[in-house]
Amino acid sequence: MIWKKERELIFDTHTHYDDKQYDEDRDELLTALKDKGVGMLVNNSYNIASSKESIGLARRYPFIRAAVGIHPENADEYDKGSIDVLRELAKEREVLAIGEIGLDYHFDDNPSKDIQLECFRAQLDLALEMDMPVVIHSRDAAADTMDILKDAYTKGLICDVHCYSYSPEQALEYVKMGFYIGVGGVVTFKNSKKLKETVRQIPLQRILLETDCPYMAPVPFRGSRNSSELLSYVAEEIAAIKGVDKEEVIRVTYDNACDFYRIEK
């Protein structure tokens, strides 16, 4: 499938428009996005039900595509049957990636590390089987994530390390493996010195713009419901850090997203 880009538009690589926060105005918001500078977006999923909803959104809106997967906070839903379901869902034409998947050790009530690791590895194996890129969630799990992804890299897997929160040095390791780094509203926060430095050090050609909406709204909307139209603020901050025009950030990250999701430009 080929999408034609009429002008420089933003590609939001990571959204959650199936979230209940959009129940009252979802269609109005989504249909207005192109006029507000957004050309494409990928809706990422957190379990089987969300994966089906993401595909449903992609069938209703021609500029939306889906990623399917089980989020680490939902890893206790994982079993062989769920992988079989994901395999069938991943065959749908609207699905471009497996995601978001990974590890999250932040909260004590999250599924156990053992369950998360098993779920993560099974979905990476599925991505390799399906020859699909992967969207990675990693929170307070830097070492385990790096070890697992280094192994996946040797098998040919390509990943987007979504909502990047670790050191610039680790980001450079991922870049060396040909991975992409997802950057969203957090980069506009005053206290995000580590992420700003990461953006400064890695090539623009390895950055993906993302909202993670409805979360992580950029300044000056921090704390409110996020949406793809606000990515212009993220692009502006990245441009200031890199010393380039905002339009160049939008253009290059659009091309990056097409490369990662294997969309013909």
Span 235-250, pLDDT tens digits: 999 999 999 999 999 9
* Cα distance between residue 64 and residue 30, in whole Å: 9
Share of the chain above pLDDT 70, in %: 97
| Residue type at 216 in one-letter notation | M
Chain-wide mean pLDDT for the chain? Answer: 96
Share of the chain above pLDDT 90, in %: 96
Say whether pTM exceeds 0.85: yes
In the structure, what pLDDT confidence band is assigned to residue 6 with cuts at 50, 70 and 90? low
Give me the long-range contacts of 245-253 (CB less than 8 A, separation at least 24): 247/8, 248/204, 249/204, 249/207, 249/209, 250/8, 250/9, 250/10, 250/209, 251/8, 252/204, 252/205, 252/207, 253/10, 253/11, 253/204, 253/207, 253/208, 253/209
Sequence ranges of the domains in the chain: 10-261
pLDDT in tens, 144-192: 999 999 999 999 999 999 999 999 999 999 999 999 999 999 999 999 9
Phi, psi dihedrals of residue 241, rounded to the nearest 5°: -65, -40
* Cα distance between residue 60 and residue 132, in whole Å: 23
Nearest to 72 by CA among 51, 54, 46: 46
* Cα distance between residue 174 and residue 197, in whole Å: 15
pLDDT in tens, 117-139: 999 999 999 999 999 999 999 99
Superfamily covering domain 10-261: Metal-dependent hydrolases (3.20.20.140)
* Cα distance between residue 124 and residue 4, in whole Å: 31
